[in-house]
Chains A and B, each alone.
Chain A
Amino acid sequence: MNRHLSEDQIARCIVGQATTTQLQHARECPECGAEVNRFTKCVALFQSSMHEHIKDRIALVPLVTVSKPSRVGTRMHRWVLVAAAAVILVVLPFIRTGNSPATSEAVSIETDPDAVMNRVNLDLARTVPAPMEPLMLGLPDLNP
């Protein structure tokens, strides 16, 4: 018994796929036996630890029973969808009228470079800001 088991042979001993000779060697050789035992012990500790961990978790979190989804819940869900669709149908015309052609035209004008320049020049020529112009029309002319 001069040669120890190889890594593969030790792995085969652990998973129960070793030959009789290899198993006998593992039983009789202290070093190879220790290798097999070390792994087996580590795995057993892992198993115990995981079992305890889950046991603690299950004690903390109550059991969730499996049941069919309630028909009331499904009906409610449907009613919510129907109500949402109705609201959208009612609100949609108002939203569409908000988007008047004039607005879209203004946007299209502003994309033209010449129109933008004209608009800038017009703004610079104003004596008062555009929103105040209607008010200025109502005032008496103070210039001599």
Chain B
Amino acid sequence: MENPALEFENFDRLVEQYRPRVLRFLYASLRDMDLAESLAQDCFWNAYKSRSNFRGDCSVNTWLMRIAVNLVRNHMQSRRFQFWKKIQNTDNGEMREWPDRSISPEESASIRQQVQSVWDATRTLSNRQRTVFLLRYLEDLDIAEIAQSTGLTENSVKVHLFRAVRGIRKRLGASQ
């Protein structure tokens, strides 16, 4: 791994490198691309402001994810979100067509349905379970990294992950 302190030398490069991960996590959590873009900017801005506090005890990716997790948490708790949650009722979070054109339209539709089912199932989870699930299965973070990103203990992460998977399986079983 590159020396984390060196990664801050060129902040634009850091943004370019980590933007997809941060944006992906935020979008999957909030299901609103505009909001995810806005919070991704906040995430990098916060990271820039507090880069001198980065002690290097975790990777830059984990550190950015911790900021992103906090932003999502704050946003969920904000009154603005409560308001929008009431009137929005739906998200624009629909997956588009499966990009691989080598497969048939039927297969594509089936895959799309499976993907949508998983994503919809994450909505039924608690915020903490969803965060842990997304960090593990979307961002491929291990248990220790998830614990660092969320501020939970490793045991707690394991419990939330188990419950999340059990909940999603239950949901998937019900939808099929």
Using a CB–CB cutoff of 8 Å, the interface residues on chain A facing chain B are 7-8, 10-12, 14-15, 17, 39, 41-43, 45-47, 49-58, 61, 63-66
CA distance A11 to B117 in the complex (A): 17
Interchain CB contact under 8 A, B48 and A11: no
Interface majority SS (helix, strand, loop, mixed), chain B: helix
B81 at the interface (CB under 8 A from A): no
Question: What total of chain B residues lie within 8 Å of the partner, measured CB to CB?
Answer: 39
- B10 CB to closest chain A CB, in angstroms? 11
- Which residues on B sit within 8 Å (CB–CB) of A50? 24, 27-28, 95, 138
* CB-nearest residue of chain A to B33: A57
- A118 CB to closest chain B CB, in angstroms? 51
CA distance A81 to B137 in the complex (A): 49
- Which residues on B sit within 8 Å (CB–CB) of A61? 37
* CB-nearest residue of chain A to B165: A11
- Which residues on B sit within 8 Å (CB–CB) of A53? 27, 95-96
CA distance A57 to B95 in the complex (A): 12
Interchain CB contact under 8 A, B114 and A42: yes
Interchain CB contact under 8 A, A15 and B12: no
